Chain A
Amino acid sequence: MALPSQDSAKLVDAHLAEVYRYAFRLSGSPWDAEELTQQVFLIAHQNVDQLRHPDSARAWLFTILRHCFGRNQRRWEPQREADLGLELDRLAEETPDAESIDSESLQAALNKLSGEYRLVVLMYYFEQCSYREIAEKLDLPIGTVMSRLARGKSALRKLLADDLLAIAKVSH
């Protein structure tokens, strides 16, 4: 049975924080995150009859968010090739300590990832999707998702490590 339209308000109450946080991580700016969040809930409100099960509301809203984010990005900017190399020999030095990561450094690194890598990485970390779920939701081959995820995670680690290195240099 479909949810009645007045339940849009309940959707906002229950999922606003998560949608905004996801939107912020995707867009990297509070302005854009709020814009995206509003778009998501307006689209959800106008199509609330499509939501058959309240339990799937979170996944449904995230799907709308990803769609809005993709639509707002006129085209994916290319990722720097230097960030994407998967050099197994250098994994250790390019992996920062877990304790050194905070919200700001994470966002600074995410902002440097191109949209297509950022999306896959966020689906992995924020939504905690498996690569199969990511492939299904983005309608991509599993091999493409695995490769993109590995490269995206590797690039994120390098960017985080570079950031920490830069901070260390400044403090010395």
Chain B
Amino acid sequence: MTSEMWAAIESVPLSGENPADSLSPEALQALAQDERLRATHERIVALDHRIAVVIHDVPLPEGLANRVAEAVALSPVRGAVVPIATASTSLGLGEGAQQARSRRFWLAAGSAAVVASIVLLAMALTQWNADPAWNVGQLAEAAAHFCLSGGEQSGDARTDAPPSDFPFGRGVVVPSVNRWRLIGDFFGREAVAYELPSIGGHRATLYVARLNISDPLDAPPQKPDFSTGRCAVAIWQRQGVAYLLVVVGDQPVSAYPWFLERPTSPLT
């Protein structure tokens, strides 16, 4: 028996009712002629079916469902589905009226498309050098991947005065010693990463960058904008400076508020 023929035997799908049905006549003949090979093949088939059962024997971690549901609930949906009603079905127009209406519609649509193209072209020319605006959810997700892939560890930590263009964010716990790193490429921009003190086994980093974010909050949100099992990210922007607070640990969503300054009650 050749290796190719054996590869074909090994590739017989497990889901078939009778595996022999999937074997080529040559393979069946080869197995029929060699008793030892046939016995081994039967053992392999039995092992395959055993593995296919045992492979699903994996205990689920406690609280997994809640953590995943929480992360999904915090994540924005890209592209909402909007049902569209057609004019002819909703208005019940006659055929002639529909045709006249259709011509007018296409004339209007054509004109609108030309105008829209001109406007878009003008916008593109004026915005040629402008930064694209980041969506909060997408930026938070990208930042989580950046941190989990070790991007935050790049560069040496420093303790001297950080660049004034990247001020520490208000509302975040202030470390006793400012340890910061300069990151040359943080989503295409320079950034400063401030190390926050570890709390409850969780570490946190505050990224400060001149990024353009669409519709940001101007203070740390009460809950992270994005989270995975190991990482939670919150984003806000103040005076043109973007802040990304990234918490890494076992319970990042629960730990996130520990890194925020508690609001002080007004003096009475």
Contact = CB atoms under 8 A, between A and B. Distances in A.
Given A21-B56, A42-B71, A146-B11, A99 B50 contact: yes
A157 interface: yes
A64 interface: no
Given A38-B67, A41-B68, A157-B47, A5 B11 contact: no
Contacts, number: 158
Contacts of B58: 20-21, 24-25, 103
Contacts of B57: 102-103
Contacts of B47: 95-98, 101, 157
A125 B81 contact: no
A124 B14 contact: yes
B10 A149 contact: yes
Contact of B65 (A2, A12, A42, A91): A12
B79 A49 contact: yes
B3 interface: yes
Contacts of A91: 37, 40, 44
Given A88-B6, A92-B39, A103-B54, A45 B64 contact: no
Interface in B20-75: 36-37, 39-40, 43-44, 46-52, 54-58, 60-61, 64-65, 67-69, 71-73, 75
A48 B80 CA distance: 9
A8 B52 contact: no
A47 B75 CA distance: 11
Interface in A6-52: 8-9, 12-13, 16-18, 20-21, 24-25, 30-31, 34-35, 37-39, 41-42, 45-49
| Interface SS of chain B | helix
Nearest to A105: B54
A34 B229 contact: yes
A86 interface: yes
B55 A125 contact: yes
A78 interface: no
Contacts of B75: 42, 45-46
A146 B77 contact: no
B91 interface: no
Contact of B77 (A13, A46, A131): A46
A155 to B, nearest CB: 12
B7 interface: yes
A149 B148 contact: no
Nearest to B11: A131
A86 B148 contact: no
B149 to A, nearest CB: 8
Contacts of B49: 98
B14 A45 contact: no
A146 B6 CA distance: 10
B64 A41 contact: no
A129 B16 CA distance: 10
B81 A5 contact: yes
Given A46-B77, A149-B10, 5 more contacts: A34-B229, A37-B68, A47-B78, A91-B37, A103-B57
Interface of A: 2, 4-5, 8-9, 12-13, 16-18, 20-21, 24-25, 30-31, 34-35, 37-39, 41-42, 45-49, 86, 88, 91-92, 95-99, 101-103, 106, 122, 124-126, 128-131, 145-147, 149-150, 153-154, 156-157
15 contacts: A13-B65, A25-B55, A31-B229, A42-B226, A86-B7, A92-B40, A98-B43, A98-B50, A101-B47, A101-B50, A101-B54, A106-B51, A125-B52, A149-B7, A157-B47
